[in-house]
Amino acid sequence: MGEKIVKIYELVTDKAGLEARMELAKRSGVPRSKAAQVEDKDELLEKFIRLASEIIGQDVNDLL
């Protein structure tokens, strides 16, 4: 559960830092502390990928 979402959080943190990670949490509604507990459903993954791409300024699909 939540493995891909956790990976997206790690990617955003590595590429853009803590502030970007906090922005992802705020905009997604899923805090990092809960990311491993949510299901990696397609709709949620698409949302995280879109938000992460916007936040770091590049397509995260290329980085996953």
How much is the pLDDT for 15? 95
How much is the pLDDT for 46? 96
How much is the pLDDT for 26? 98
How much is the pLDDT for 2? 82
pLDDT tens digit at each of 64 positions of the chain: 789 999 999 999 999 999 999 999 999 999 999 999 999 999 999 999 999 999 999 999 988 8
Whether the pTM exceeds 0.85: the reply is yes
Query: How far is the C-alpha of 36 from the C-alpha of 24, rounded, in Å?
Result: 15
Torsional sign, CA 21, 63, 14, 17: negative
Tokens (6 digits) for 18? 């803590």
Of 51, 52, 41, residue with least CA distance to 1: 41
Q: Among the residues of the chain, which ranges form H helices?
A: 3-16, 18-28, 32-35, 42-56
